[in-house]
Amino acid sequence: MKKTVPAEEDRRPSATFRVGAIALVFLIIGYQLALFVYKASVSAVVAHRDRPDTVYVVDPALARKVLSGSGMAAHSGPDTTESTVIAGSDRGSEMAGQAGLDAFTVRRDASHSPQAQAVERRFAPRRYESFPFNPNTATEEEFRRLGFSEKQAQAILHYREKGGRFRRREDFARSFVVADSVFERLEPYIRIPKVDLNTADSAAFDALPGIGPFYAGRMVSYRRELGGYSYPEQLMDIWKFDRGKYDALADLIVVSKPYRYPLWTLPEDSLKRHPYIRSYAAHGIVLFRSASPQEDWTVENLVKAGILKPEQGAKLSPCVDGAPAPTPAR
């Protein structure tokens, strides 16, 4: 039987195959082009976020004015070549006063779409900055600038939302997302404000270790009785507020502006309401003031005269300014 040799045309690829092959080539080229455009777009987004606009402020007085008004603060870290700005609510003026005010680089990030922010979070290389921050108030963006990943930053925020609080620097180190090496780098920059006994409310007192609603309320009411705290140890005058309770929070409190009790000018009715004086001593102080020259008006002399007991004098003396200057004779 004789074989038939297919014609030359029959050995050529069919038209359908050729169209499919060409389409596949264009598909591959299109995919590569789309991938290139995507990578270029990601690189552009990351680069844009990595190099934000900056404003340079040189004049110290102008710097204080700008930073205080905008709620932003400039600062420099030992391992950075530029100063960086922290955005915050009311921290600007405080931190501007702490910063060196010779020259500044004020960082201002422009607003970005959620899509651009998502791209930046996913693809931006991990870089970190070191700047003063309060772990109880820092934002997710600030934590990420400090070197934490998005998940780590969210874990810290979640801990705070559940009522967690960092009272001391060591508390931040105990967080499971804070590696020892990271804490070692950030420790000099952690700023946790102390509780000011003369300005804090009961909620701030309640957040202190060993203080519940009862003692928080008593700390506020005793401040009212005193007129204001003159030194932190006055807390131990509160009922059952012993040395152990005080030592547990002594490093977390401060009296930024000690109250000076106007012992030498108040009338008897006001004096007797003070917990260190009461009625008998108040009457004696008024008589002492009327019978003694002003240069003799000291707490020590009140103790010597038997008007105050030694323990009363020891508590009252740090609260009182010196006697007012004598009125010159006309």
Residue 140 sits in a domain whose CATH number is: 1.10.150
Token pair, residue 126, equals 């991990």
The reported pLDDT for the residue numbered 114 is: 75
Do 211 and 185 sit in the same domain of this protein? no
The residue behind tokens 């009252």 is 316
Query: Cβ atoms within 10 A of the Cβ of 265, count?
Result: 10
Pairing of strands 84-87, 104-107: unpaired
Token pair, residue 105, equals 């680089």
DSSP string across 185-220:
HHGGGB--PPEETTT--HHHHHTSTT--HHHHHHHH
Do 230 and 279 sit in the same domain of this protein? no
The residue behind tokens 């929070």 is 249
Do 187 and 200 sit in the same domain of this protein? no
The reported pLDDT for the residue numbered 34 is: 84
Do 233 and 277 sit in the same domain of this protein? no
In a domain, 7, yes or no: no
Do 189 and 128 sit in the same domain of this protein? yes
From 168, 193, 218, the end of a domain falls on: 193
Do 103 and 133 sit in the same domain of this protein? no
> What total of structural domains would you count in the chain?
4
User: What pTM value is reported for the model?
Assistant: 0.62
The reported pLDDT for the residue numbered 305 is: 95
In a domain, 173, yes or no: yes
In a domain, 182, yes or no: yes
Query: Cβ atoms within 10 A of the Cβ of 324, count?
Result: 11
State CA 161 to chain mean position distance.
16
Sign of the torsion angle spanned by Cα atoms 271, 273, 277, 278: positive
Note down pLDDT in tens along the chain; length 330 residues.
555 555 555 667 777 877 888 888 888 888 888 888 877 776 666 555 544 555 555 566 666 666 665 544 444 443 333 334 433 333 444 444 444 444 455 555 566 677 777 776 666 666 778 899 999 999 999 999 999 988 999 999 999 999 899 999 999 999 999 999 999 999 999 999 999 999 999 999 999 999 999 999 999 999 999 999 999 999 999 999 999 999 999 999 999 999 999 999 999 999 999 999 999 999 999 999 999 999 999 999 999 999 999 999 999 999 998 666 555 444
In a domain, 327, yes or no: no
Each as own residue / partner, the long-range contacts of residues 166-175 (CB below 8 Å, 24 or more positions apart, any chain) are 166/135, 166/136, 166/192, 167/192, 167/207, 167/208, 167/209, 167/252, 168/192, 168/251, 168/252, 172/135
DSSP string across 39-60:
HHHHHHHHHHHHS--EEEE--H
State CA 223 to chain mean position distance.
25
The CA distance from 99 to 74, in Å, is 7
Query: Which DSSP letter does residue 74 get?
Result: E
Nearest Cα to Cα of residue 281 among 289, 222, 320:
289
The CA distance from 153 to 138, in Å, is 10
From 232, 254, 276, the end of a domain falls on: 254
Give the range of the structural domain holding residue 152, as residue numbers without chain letter.
123-193
Amino acid at 328: P
Do 249 and 202 sit in the same domain of this protein? yes
Do 99 and 130 sit in the same domain of this protein? no
The reported pLDDT for the residue numbered 58 is: 54
The reported pLDDT for the residue numbered 143 is: 94
In a domain, 221, yes or no: yes
In a domain, 27, yes or no: no
State CA 17 to chain mean position distance.
69
Do 207 and 231 sit in the same domain of this protein? yes
In a domain, 45, yes or no: no
The CA distance from 156 to 170, in Å, is 15
Pairing of strands 195-196, 72-75: unpaired
The CA distance from 60 to 100, in Å, is 9
From 82, 109, 136, the end of a domain falls on: 109
Do 273 and 283 sit in the same domain of this protein? yes
The CA distance from 272 to 280, in Å, is 8
In a domain, 216, yes or no: yes
Do 138 and 183 sit in the same domain of this protein? yes
CATH (domain of 207): 1.10.150.320
Residues 6+ apart with CB under 8 A from 306: 284
Nearest Cα to Cα of residue 305 among 290, 322, 327:
290
The reported pLDDT for the residue numbered 297 is: 95
Query: Which DSSP letter does residue 327 get?
Result: P
Do 207 and 179 sit in the same domain of this protein? no
The CA distance from 189 to 97, in Å, is 16
Write down how long the chain is.
330
